[in-house]
Amino acid sequence: MRNIILFGSPGAGKSTLVELLTEKNLPYSLISVGMILRDISKEDSELGNKVRETMAKGDLLDDFFITELVKKALREVDKSKSIILDGYPRSLGQVNIVDGIFKENQIDFPVLVYVKISKQEAIDRLSTRRVCSLCKENFQVYELENAEKCPKCGGKLIQREDDKPEAIEKRFELFDMQFKIIEEYFKSRNRFFEIDGTIPKPERVEELIKIIQG
Ligand SMILES: [Zn+2]
């Protein structure tokens, strides 16, 4: 089984893909920087405030901080399953760090899986996304009878700060810069795979499973 780095622009549907893997009973260990950061941002502490403010602006947190979080997660993760990295690495420096940690732990260096969607598609998806403030489930406004109330738990639905237009623009600029460098690196090492993010979900997850099972 391969270890993978999931890569895709904001709105590409990476977390949906991972959720579908669970339904398919494919064993994996997920390390999602976004999820780790969202957990920290809920803390009422100096760190929580810093993370919350940075994310709300669509800015990136500094490299060193993120790297420490990923190192800690990799130490603790179940390495007998396929490891899925989401949101890391995003620079060549971080790729080298991953390489180092994986070597130390004698784990196979991951392949890159790029979930591709157009910028317009992503903007459409993000601007209509709502998240439940209690159970954290994501919805599209057009799927909802009541756009303010979670159909699962009754919690209040909100728009994530980083799904607002100004933040989306910033996230895209960052993504484009990061992707060009990362793409070249993994292509030159024959470790690059691409999934069309606009085909139906069941087909997307089948493609991902094929890649993981190598
Ligand atoms: Zn809910």
The pLDDT of residue 179: 93
Specify the 3-state DSSP secondary structure of 36. helix
Is residue 142 included in any domain, yes or no?
no
Is residue 64 included in any domain, yes or no?
yes
Q: What is the mean pLDDT of residues 52-71?
A: 82
d(CA 96, CA 84): 17
> Are 47 and 97 within 8 A, CB to CB?
no
pLDDT digits (tens, 9 = 90+) for 141-196: 998 999 999 999 999 999 988 888 888 888 888 888 889 999 999 999 999 999 99
Categorize the per-residue pLDDT at 210 as very low, low, confident or very high, splitting at 50, 70 and 90. Answer: very high
Residue 14 structural domain: 4-117+165-213
The pLDDT of residue 116: 94
Mean pLDDT (the chain, rounded):
90
Task: For residue 39, report the distance from its CA to the centre of ligand 1, in Å.
Answer: 16
Nearest C-alpha neighbor of 56 from the set 68, 64, 67, 48: 48
| Residues shown for the chain | 214
Categorize the per-residue pLDDT at 201 as very low, low, confident or very high, splitting at 50, 70 and 90. Answer: very high
Task: For residue 175, report the distance from its CA to the centre of ligand 1, in Å.
Answer: 29
Overall domain count for the chain: 1
Is residue 154 included in any domain, yes or no?
no
Is residue 123 included in any domain, yes or no?
no
Q: Find the distance separating the first CA and the last CA of the chain, reported in whole Å.
A: 6
Strands 82-86, 4-8: pairing is: parallel
Is residue 125 included in any domain, yes or no?
no
Categorize the per-residue pLDDT at 58 as very low, low, confident or very high, splitting at 50, 70 and 90. Answer: low
Take residue 174 and report the two structure tokens written for it: 């960052």
CATH number, domain of 21, equals: 3.40.50.300
Task: For residue 139, report the distance from its CA to the centre of ligand 1, in Å.
Answer: 10
Among the residue ranges 1-5, 117-121, 184-188, 206-210, the one predicted with the least confidence is: 117-121
Is residue 143 included in any domain, yes or no?
no
pLDDT digits (tens, 9 = 90+) for 103-137: 988 888 999 999 999 888 888 888 899 999 999 88
Is residue 173 included in any domain, yes or no?
yes
DSSP 145: S
The pLDDT of residue 166: 82
Is residue 99 included in any domain, yes or no?
yes
What global pTM score does this model have? Answer: 0.81
Task: For residue 156, report the distance from its CA to the centre of ligand 1, in Å.
Answer: 7
172 to 7, 119, 124, 129: CA distances (angstroms)? 13, 8, 13, 17
> Are 211 and 4 within 8 A, CB to CB?
yes
Beta-bridge partners for 116: 196
Take residue 211 and report the two structure tokens written for it: 């890649």
Task: For residue 19, report the distance from its CA to the centre of ligand 1, in Å.
Answer: 16
